[in-house]
């Protein structure tokens, strides 16, 4: 019983829920600020995501007459809870060991598409033709970027499984064991066989987070924000929070998979070290790319994801196999 | 001060902008894009963001003299915007009709149909003037919420 309670607390306060939200909003604010600086603008203050959320909470909620009411209202809640639970599965090296299950890597893989699904449900429930367009684009993009993600996770799991317990267990799907093994034998991000997988993960990030050049499902100029078109007020705030949580989860997963080193025995230092590593990942893969590129078409993005990141991830998989 | 009032007080620091072209010649729209894109006139430092959907909007910028063709659509989009909202008329056309005033196809000026809060005159207005209009819209927004700056 107390285990269940502890797990729920992990989902609501630390590292899911409140903590993940705070860090995610910090990342989002910094992302906007750095992007502005790269374009030689002043940019918004660092606390802008908080101000936006406060503003959205005070606005009125309008629901379209023709919308499917329950699905329209519940879709953002579905996405938010999915991500809050997922955040509790991400281990923070030296601080928190994750909800310690046997195959939490697989659980994370299944929880990750939930925000995109929430967007698809909300978009199609809103009864707007732009919502439907956003739905189809989101689905196409999801099909494209899930393939490289699966191969990346598989490559990491196989490499870990090969050396933990002498390869007796086959692939290792416990994220905690992977993290602990890396802390003993060195980070995977510096392993030659894993460098293509790391690159593929960096390419995968902007697509799944829906930022330029892959912000195609929510393109504001062509399909006026697609699935988010009819959402306003607190519901939109919930979508923004989901996106912040997702940023935290994906960056945290990247750190856990590739750079889970610790620098001290004292946990606050490790926590700051973790956030710093996430920050570097974000600046490299999201902010710099976003401020330098325009938006691709959906067919270009699809073709890109099923070729380059998939090929890189496959490369890693083959290297792991032959080594 | 209650939590609600506190949220309202900080809410004006995130005005999301939406552009409606009510038959404008595009001169003012170019200036609006300039205001957003050129580093010197960055509107994002006030927390602004150009958004694509009227549902996300707080400050709506209307350009153009409101032609007959576009009138019903402008009104419909304007009514889609959730309250509280602030309306800014950008350019002399939307304020008075400008050179098009009295034309056979002109229904404007805009305040015949929509309560306008801020006028930004000019043909087209300078980016600095548009920025001032947006900052003025923030204080009007506060007044609409029953708060003082």
Tell me the pLDDT of chain B (149 aa) as tens digits. 677 777 777 787 888 888 888 888 888 888 888 776 677 788 888 888 888 888 888 899 999 888 998 989 999 889 888 888 899 998 898 888 888 888 888 887 888 888 999 999 888 888 888 888 888 998 888 888 877 65
Q: Is the ipTM of this complex over 0.90?
A: no
Which residue of A32, A40, A62 to mutate against B (max B Cβ within 10 Å)?
A: A62
What percent of chain A lies above the pLDDT cut of 90? Answer: 4
Q: What is the mean pLDDT of residues A267-280?
A: 86
Domain span including residue A11: 3-322
Whether B10 contacts chain A with CB within 8 A: yes
- Total of domains in chain A: 1
Tell me which residue of A41, A60, A18 sits closest to A241, measured CA to CA. Answer: A18
Structure tokens that stand for B82 in this block: 């959730």
Rounded Cα–Cα distance for residues A197 and A160 (Å): 14
Contact predicate A85/A16, CB 8 Å: yes
Rounded Cα–Cα distance for residues A226 and A219 (Å): 7
Q: What is the mean pLDDT of residues A168-191?
A: 77
Whether B42 contacts chain A with CB within 8 A: yes
Q: Nearest residue on chain A to B85, judged by CA atoms? A: A59
Residue A217 has pLDDT above 80, yes or no: no
Strand ranges for chain B from DSSP E = 16-21, 49-50, 59-63, 86-90, 118-120
Contact predicate A127/A66, CB 8 Å: yes
- What are the tens digits of pLDDT across the range A37-96? 888 888 888 888 998 888 888 888 888 888 888 888 888 999 998 888 888 888 888 777
pTM value?
A: 0.87
Q: What is the residue whose two structure tokens read 């860090």? A: A23
Chain B partners within 8 Å of A51 (Cβ): 10-11, 13-14, 47
Q: In angstroms, what CA-CA distances link A273 with A249, A255, A268? A: 16, 11, 9
Residue among A39, A48, A233 whose CB faces B39 most closely = A39
3-class SS at B120? strand
- What are the tens digits of pLDDT across the range A6-17? 777 777 777 777
User: In DSSP terms, which residues pair with A92 in a beta bridge?
Assistant: A96
Tell me which residue of A215, A249, A223 sits closest to A24, measured CA to CA. Answer: A249
Residue among A43, A59, A220 whose CB faces B44 most closely = A43
Whether B77 contacts chain A with CB within 8 A: no
């Amino acid at each position: 019983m107390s285990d269940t309670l502890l797990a729920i607390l992990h989902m609501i306060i630390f590292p899911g829920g409140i903590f993940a939200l705070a860090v995610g909003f910090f990342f989002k604010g910094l992302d906007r600020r750095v992007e502005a600086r790269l374009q030689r603008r002043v940019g918004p203050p660092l606390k802008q995501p908080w101000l936006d959320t406060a503003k959205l909470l005070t606005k009125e909620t309008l629901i379209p007459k023709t919308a499917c009411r329950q699905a329209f209202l519940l879709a953002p809640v579905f996405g938010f809870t999915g991500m809050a639970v997922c955040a509790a599965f991400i281990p923070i090296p030296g601080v928190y060991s994750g909800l310690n299950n046997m195959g939490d890597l697989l659980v994370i893989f299944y929880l990750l598409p939930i925000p995109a699904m929430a967007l698809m449900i909300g978009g199609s429930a809103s009864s707007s033709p732009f919502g439907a367009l956003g739905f189809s684009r989101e689905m196409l993009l999801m099909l494209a970027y899930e393939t490289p993600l699966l191969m990346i996770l598989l490559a990491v799991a196989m490499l870990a499984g090969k050396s933990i317990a002498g390869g007796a267990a086959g692939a290792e799907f416990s994220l905690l064991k992977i993290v602990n093994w890396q802390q003993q034998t060195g980070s995977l991000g510096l392993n030659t066989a894993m460098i293509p997988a790391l690159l593929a993960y960096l390419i995968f990030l902007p697509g799944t987070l829906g930022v330029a050049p892959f912000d195609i499902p929510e393109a504001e100029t062509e399909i006026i924000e697609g699935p988010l078109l009819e959402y306003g007020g607190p519901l939109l705030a919930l979508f923004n929070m989901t996106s912040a949580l997702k940023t935290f989860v994906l960056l945290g997963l990247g750190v856990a998979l590739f750079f889970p080193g610790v620098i001290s025995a004292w946990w606050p230092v490790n926590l700051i070290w973790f956030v710093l590593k996430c920050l570097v990942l974000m600046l490299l893969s999201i902010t710099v790319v976003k401020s330098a590129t325009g938006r691709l078409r959906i067919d270009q993005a699809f073709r890109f994801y099923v070729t380059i990141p998939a090929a890189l991830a496959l490369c890693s998989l083959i290297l792991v196999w032959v080594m | 001060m209650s939590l609600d009032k506190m949220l309202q007080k900080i809410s004006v620091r995130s005005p999301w902008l939406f552009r409606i072209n009510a038959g404008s010649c595009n001169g003012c729209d170019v200036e609006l894009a300039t205001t957003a894109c050129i580093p010197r006139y960055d509107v994002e430092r006030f927390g602004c963001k150009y958004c694509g959907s009227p549902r996300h909007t707080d400050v709506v910028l209307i350009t153009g003299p409101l032609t007959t063709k576009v009138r019903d659509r402008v009104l419909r989009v304007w009514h889609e915007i959730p309250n509280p909202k602030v309306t800014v008329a950008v350019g002399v056309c939307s304020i008075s009709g400008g050179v098009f005033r009295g034309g056979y196809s002109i229904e404007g000026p805009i305040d015949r149909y929509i309560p306008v809060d801020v006028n930004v005159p000019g043909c087209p207005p300078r980016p600095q003037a548009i920025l001032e209009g947006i900052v003025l819209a923030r204080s009007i927004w506060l007044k609409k919420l029953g708060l003082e700056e």
